């Protein structure tokens, strides 16, 4: 009986919160929630809307090709448990509406949504393969396809990509390559970045990227350029720096040593995950002072930041320009 009362109270609280949120949501029009585009210096994105106090974000944002849907994941704490849910903000009737829980999310641990160039929406989840089944112990890669104006039911990515470990943080290039992160045991690489290629209608068996990308440190959250000429990823390296790194491809196809984006993205905070606007003009990044939502004395706010993507070109070694 007490459990039923708690569940009903939680549902009523959630519904009330959504109604209040929509009532207080400002009328925003135009691209990118009506925000003024940034220059070459990081600026917080949509303060009080997506980047807001108490909203513990767990991924960067991903934007649909038409610019009318923005997805991201957040951590939700229910009683003594916590899980990630995917949120959405939509452009409807000439204005932005949201954020609210995406229709396909909320029941399981769903995280790190990412659009591919062909319009699929990838994400990672512990949901069971069949309806009514028990949640999995690990997370697999799932995706949705547009059916008219609506999304399909979540589709489990079949083939050799998913494993019995956490497979997560997909980034697909326009060349048909999927970069993703797999969480391993510490003695097996800890966190590594893998690649799979779409060949004859199927994703190939993934291979682990070699050094200098994967090292004895923890690497994750890959974001590949559409033409695969550079790769941005998160590295946990206490000696060389924690945060986002960028790695450029050389003329022979190999990767040059990663560059710590300490002067652009990792300034005064830890940058966990990144993504680009559909046209490639802007770079978005999730930044935190640490693993908790805090407000620093200097006024730093955890949240999504954005900057002109030209900063990538400025980091490119001269011999590759």
Give tens-digit pLDDT for 10-25: 333 333 333 334 445 6
pLDDT at 24: 58
Expressed in percent and rounded to 5, the helix, strand and coil fractions of the chain are 10, 40, 45
Q: Which of 245, 238, 205 is nearest to 223 (CA)?
A: 245
What is the per-residue pLDDT for 301? 67
3-state secondary structure of 7: helix
User: What Rg do the C-alpha atoms of the chain give, in angstroms?
Assistant: 19
pLDDT of residue 122: 98
Distance CA 116, CA 143 (A): 10
Of 153, 95, 107, which Cα lies nearest the Cα of 14? 107
Q: Is the peptide bond before 212 cis (omega within 30 degrees of 0)?
A: yes
Nearest alpha-carbon partner for 96 in 59, 114, 69, 74: 69
Exposed / middle / buried, residue 106 (Cβ in 10 Å: 0-12, 13-18, 19+): middle
Rounded to whole angstroms, how far apart are CA atoms 99 and 93?
A: 16
> How many whole angstroms separate alpha carbon 113 and alpha carbon 70?
10
Q: What is the pLDDT of residue 77?
A: 78
CA–CA gap between residue 34 and residue 48 (Å, rounded) = 13
DSSP annotation of 205: P
CA pair distance 290, 273, nearest whole angstrom: 14
- Amino acid 100: pLDDT: 92
Closest to 130 (Cα-Cα) out of 108, 106, 159? 108
Q: Please report the pLDDT score of residue 18 as a whole number.
A: 38
At 236 the three-state DSSP class reads: strand
Nearest one of 69, 284, 270, 281 to 171, comparing CA atoms: 284
Q: Which domains does the chain have, with CATH numbers?
A: 30-320 (2.120.10)
Nearest alpha carbon to residue 256 among 320, 313, 209 = 320
- Calpha distance 243→292 (Å, rounded): 16
Give the model's pLDDT for residue 238.
73
Tens-digit pLDDT profile for residues 205-236: 999 999 999 998 899 999 999 999 999 999 98
Among residues 129, 121, 125, the alpha carbon closest in space to that of 138 is found at 125
Is there a contact between 83 and 76 (Cβ–Cβ < 8 Å)?
yes
pLDDT 10s digits, 286-295: 987 654 443 4
Using the 8-state DSSP alphabet, how is residue 138 labeled? S
pLDDT at 12: 35
Q: Following CA atoms 133, 110, 124, 265 in sequence, which dihedral angle do they give, to the nearest 10 degrees?
A: -170
pLDDT at 28: 84
Residues of the chain falling short of pLDDT 70: 1-25, 53-54, 79-80, 187-189, 289-301
């Amino acid at each position: 009986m007490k459990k039923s009362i708690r569940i009903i109270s939680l549902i009523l609280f959630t519904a009330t919160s959504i109604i209040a949120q929509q009532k207080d949501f400002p009328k925003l029009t135009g691209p990118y929630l009506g925000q003024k585009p940034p220059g070459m210096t990081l600026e917080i994105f949509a303060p009080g809307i997506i980047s807001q106090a108490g909203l513990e974000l767990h991924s960067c944002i991903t934007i649909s090709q038409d610019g009318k849907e923005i997805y991201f994941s957040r951590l939700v704490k229910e009683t003594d448990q916590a899980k990630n849910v995917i949120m959405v903000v939509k452009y409807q009737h000439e204005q932005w509406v949201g954020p609210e829980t995406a229709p396909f999310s909320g029941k399981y641990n769903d995280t790190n949504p990412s659009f591919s160039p062909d319009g699929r929406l990838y994400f990672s989840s512990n949901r069971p393969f069949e309806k009514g089944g028990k949640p999995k112990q690990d997370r697999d890669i799932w995706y949705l396809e547009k059916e008219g104006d609506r999304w399909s039911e979540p589709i489990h990515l079949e083939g050799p990509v998913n494993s019995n470990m956490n497979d997560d943080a997909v980034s697909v290039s326009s060349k048909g390559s999927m970069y993703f992160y797999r969480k391993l045991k510490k003695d097996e690489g800890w966190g590594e970045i893998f690649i799979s290629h779409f060949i004859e209608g199927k994703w190939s068996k993934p291979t682990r990227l070699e050094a200098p990308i994967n090292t004895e440190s923890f690497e994750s959250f890959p974001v590949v350029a559409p033409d695969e000429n550079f790769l941005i990823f998160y590295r946990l390296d206490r000696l060389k720096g924690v945060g986002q790194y960028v790695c450029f491809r050389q003329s022979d196809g190999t990767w040059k040593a990663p560059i710590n984006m300490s002067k652009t993205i990792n300034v005064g905070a830890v940058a966990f995950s990144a993504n680009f606007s559909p046209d490639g003009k802007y770079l978005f990044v999730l930044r935190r002072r640490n693993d908790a939502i805090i407000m620093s004395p200097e006024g730093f706010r955890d949240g999504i930041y954005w900057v002109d993507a030209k900063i990538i070109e400025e980091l490119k070694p001269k011999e590759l320009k």
